Structure 1
Amino acid sequence: MSNPYLELLEQVSPATFARDPKPGWAGPGTLFGCRAVDLSEVPAGCQYVAAGIPFDGTASSRPGASEGPRAIRQASLVFSSYLDSLGEHEMLDTRTGSVFRYAKANVVDAGDLHVYPTDTRRNFQAVATEVELLARSGATPVLLGGDHSIGFATFVGVQRALSARQPQSRLGLIQIDHHFDFGANSTIHGPLYHGSNARRISELPSMQPDRMAFVGVGSITRKGQFDGLLKAGSHIVPAREMRARGVAAALEPVVAAFRRNCTAVHLSIDIDVLDCSVAPGTGNVTIGGLSGGELMDAVEVIRQLPLAGIEIVEVSPRYDPTGRTPQIAAQLLFELLFREYRKPEASAIP
């Protein structure tokens, strides 16, 4: 008697399946299923190099951001086949009316950087040094946090690499965050913690206030600190202004100023800029934060600037059983890395 299942095997070979897409949960555990490389051996010609920074040693309320890099990578796998299935088509974003294509970019994943959970100074040393190594390869680092204290070290690493290539370069910081992260010191953690990263960046010898922008802020803060940042020349775009004027109009002065003042930009996105009803998987519960569409629009405006570093931090998947918070982070990165606007002004929707 013949076996119908064995007969099925006679009809195929490995080549039969080679080009078929895999389901969204399958594939190597790298960002968008890209090739894994060693930290010190990023191939020449890469456009982006991903790395995780699983550190949450300065969490003040709800730890868990150390689980963020793995969750974002896992969530990103659903997009790994998009470039093959959609890359040949002209695409229309029906939410915004923009026309674009998904273009393949040379992306690799260098795994996770070294972290030291109970030693913030050594953690700063390791992250800054290894981010500099990644950035010196010529690829743009795409960094997956981790609590926001890593933002100081990542900025320093990118800045040092940029200065080595261009001694007169001026790196700016655009921080999309519900908070300013401009604290001077924490009684619990000391001078380097998730609420001080922007202040530590402002204290770098080559940094100027007009090369710092705080986008999407909506938390309660000291009025003296707010007034001081404005007086010093920093750019502040609160969430309420983005809603009142529209995201593009609110950010237009920032983009214009950064074009004048900066050689390149380090983009730091704290997922808690989103309202907690949108992205519950983070350490800080945000009331009145941005919507997902507003965050996407902000990133679409800022991508006009030359980005020397990109990071997304504070994803804590344990607080979001739906998985939507890491999924939002992954989609945000996917659209940022792979959209190609061949006709920037084109719109098919009036």
Structure 2
Amino acid sequence: MLKLLILQLIISIAYATSDLKDKWGTLWQFQGIATFAHLDHFQCLVEPDQDFDIGIIGVPFDTAVSYRPGARFGPRAIRDASQRQYSLRGYNHRANFNPYKSWAKINDCGDIPVSPMDNKLAFKQMDLAFDELLSRNSVVDSNLPPRLIALGGDHSVLLPHIRALYKVYGPLNILHFDAHLDTWKPDKYPSYWRTDQSDLSHGSMLWQANEEGLTTKKNVHVGIRTKLSSLEDYEDDDSQNWVRIESDDIWLKGPQYVIDKILNTIPKDTPTYISVDIDVLDPGNAPGTGTQESSGLLPRELIHLLRSIDDLTIVGADIVEVAPAYDISEITALNAAQVVFELLTSMVKKGKVDKDLVNKEVKVFN
């Protein structure tokens, strides 16, 4: 009799809990805590037992900029702008695919607690954080690390990310969407006052990556329209193994020219990192950024390019330089959130990374 009463009590509690979930557990898109696309959230850096396949990680750092600051608030703004995305309406009609309802466990990993006081310490924190995150096991295959999409932050946050990826995959192809080269040598920022730390900025991090041997000879800039100090800037860029596609090329030569140029340069079966500086877009579509340049890409052009190269093997990615203090009606953050959606779609649609791409001699995960 007692066992029957206990069983009835358990059943009644279960029904009550289910009833509460039905009544109160479904929120509208503008309600609840703003994780990216309403994804499950845990602080990946402090919960090592929680595995995931793809993580969204914020990197709120902006003290390596050369013009307007404010990108430390980018991760929060991108998350806020992503609230129209969620699994029930996550079908990407351009890709004919819903990344939120597929094989991958996708998680909002929170932010790396980056110091705003000391850049040397900040880069140490970012280096260690990306190493730690890539030391985890992917849920779909314990022989593979997870993949990350970083929400910047200024563009220098790319460097710690690819340093960690290099330890797993070896040298990476970099596909770089940006108005600026970001391969400038430190002496192109003329100043009497220089230190090793000040040499690393959001305009020199790709130069630094080349110096450290992190990149291959298959690297592409898309959307370049920056002002130069001289043609020597292009010579320096050439010496670092970059193919340049200018912003004007997409309308003078057409989107297919750009797509073909990318795919003819970067082999689809090799580890590739995609970095999107939101200033690749025209300022009319991305006013909330630190270093604007006129005559950029339209959002539809950027999205079309990303969708047309989704057969590349993307092992990591970022969206950077969103500075919401200069934004208008969340235009910039909204476009950044869409970029994350496209990158996420490509990663999940492509499937898990081939284990043969992992550098067995230097891999850092268990």
Same fold (TM over 0.5): yes
Matched, 1:154 2:153: no
Quote the Cα distance in structure 2 between the aligned partners of 1:251 and 1:42: 39
Quote the Cα distance in structure 1 between the aligned partners of 2:112 and 2:88: 30
Q: Any idea what SS the aligned residue of 1:173 has?
A: strand
Offset, 1:67: 0.4
Quote the Cα distance in structure 1 between the aligned partners of 2:266 and 2:181: 19
Offset, 1:198: 1.1
Correspondence 1:137-216 to 2 at 5 A: 137=136, 138-160=145-167, 162-163=168-169, 169-185=170-186, 186=189, 187=191, 190-208=198-216, 210-216=217-223
Partner letter of residue 114 of structure 1? P
Correspondence 1:14-163 to 2 at 5 A: 14-17=20-23, 20=26, 22-40=27-45, 41=47, 46-80=52-86, 83-85=87-89, 87=91, 92-93=93-94, 100-103=96-99, 104=101, 105-137=104-136, 138-160=145-167, 162-163=168-169
When residues 322 and 223 of structure 1 are mapped into structure 2, their CA distance, relative to the original with a 3 A threshold, is same
Residue of structure 1 equivalent to 2:286: 279
Q: Is the CA contact (8 Å cut-off) linking 2:219 and 2:265 kept in structure 1?
A: no
Offset, 1:215: 1.1
Q: Is the CA contact (8 Å cut-off) linking 1:54 and 1:69 kept in structure 2?
A: yes
Unmatched tracts of structure 2, length 5 or more: 1-17, 137-144, 351-366
Q: Is the CA contact (8 Å cut-off) linking 1:75 and 1:326 kept in structure 2?
A: yes
Partner letter of residue 52 of structure 1? G
Residue of structure 2 equivalent to 1:246: 254
When residues 92 and 141 of structure 1 are mapped into structure 2, their CA distance, relative to the original with a 3 A threshold, is closer
Offset, 1:59: 2.5
When residues 45 and 55 of structure 1 are mapped into structure 2, their CA distance, relative to the original with a 3 A threshold, is closer
Q: Is the CA contact (8 Å cut-off) linking 2:59 and 2:114 kept in structure 1?
A: yes
When residues 211 and 122 of structure 1 are mapped into structure 2, their CA distance, relative to the original with a 3 A threshold, is farther
Q: Any idea what SS the aligned residue of 2:162 has?
A: helix
Matched, 1:302 2:302: no
Quote the Cα distance in structure 1 between the aligned partners of 2:312 and 2:238: 22
When residues 286 and 17 of structure 1 are mapped into structure 2, their CA distance, relative to the original with a 3 A threshold, is farther
When residues 334 and 223 of structure 1 are mapped into structure 2, their CA distance, relative to the original with a 3 A threshold, is same
Q: Is the CA contact (8 Å cut-off) linking 2:172 and 2:214 kept in structure 1?
A: no
Quote the Cα distance in structure 2 between the aligned partners of 1:229 and 1:63: 26
Quote the Cα distance in structure 1 between the aligned partners of 2:349 and 2:109: 28
Quote the Cα distance in structure 2 between the aligned partners of 1:123 and 1:216: 29
Show CA shifts across 1:107-151 (max 9, x none). Answer: 112211131223222211111221122123221111011011212
Show CA shifts across 1:133-186 (max 9, x none). Answer: 2123221111011011212222112222x24xxxxx431111110000122224
Structure 1 stretch displaced more, 273-282 or 169-178: 169-178
Show CA shifts across 1:30-63 (max 9, x none). Answer: 2112122233436676221111111111222211
When residues 231 and 147 of structure 1 are mapped into structure 2, their CA distance, relative to the original with a 3 A threshold, is closer
When residues 231 and 201 of structure 1 are mapped into structure 2, their CA distance, relative to the original with a 3 A threshold, is closer
Q: Any idea what SS the aligned residue of 1:59 has?
A: coil
Quote the Cα distance in structure 2 between the aligned partners of 1:296 and 1:55: 26
Q: Any idea what SS the aligned residue of 2:155 has?
A: coil
When residues 85 and 219 of structure 1 are mapped into structure 2, their CA distance, relative to the original with a 3 A threshold, is closer
Quote the Cα distance in structure 2 between the aligned partners of 1:131 and 1:149: 14
Identity of aligned residues (%): 27
Q: Is the CA contact (8 Å cut-off) linking 2:171 and 2:213 kept in structure 1?
A: no
Aligned pair count reads 312
Name the Cα RMSD after superposition: 2.5
When residues 256 and 17 of structure 1 are mapped into structure 2, their CA distance, relative to the original with a 3 A threshold, is farther
When residues 16 and 233 of structure 1 are mapped into structure 2, their CA distance, relative to the original with a 3 A threshold, is closer
When residues 293 and 55 of structure 1 are mapped into structure 2, their CA distance, relative to the original with a 3 A threshold, is same
Residue of structure 2 equivalent to 1:9: none
Quote the Cα distance in structure 2 between the aligned partners of 1:24 and 1:319: 25
Offset, 1:263: 2.6
Partner letter of residue 100 of structure 1? N
Structure 1 stretch displaced more, 134-143 or 32-41: 32-41
Offset, 1:273: 0.7
Offset, 1:247: 2.3
Q: Is the CA contact (8 Å cut-off) linking 1:31 and 1:77 kept in structure 2?
A: yes
Q: Is the CA contact (8 Å cut-off) linking 2:173 and 2:219 kept in structure 1?
A: yes
Quote the Cα distance in structure 2 between the aligned partners of 1:335 and 1:34: 16
Runs (4+) of structure 1 exceeding 6 A deviation are: 339-342
When residues 206 and 336 of structure 1 are mapped into structure 2, their CA distance, relative to the original with a 3 A threshold, is closer
Residue of structure 2 equivalent to 1:4: none
TM-score calculated relative to the size of structure 2? 0.78
Q: Is the CA contact (8 Å cut-off) linking 1:170 and 1:263 kept in structure 2?
A: no
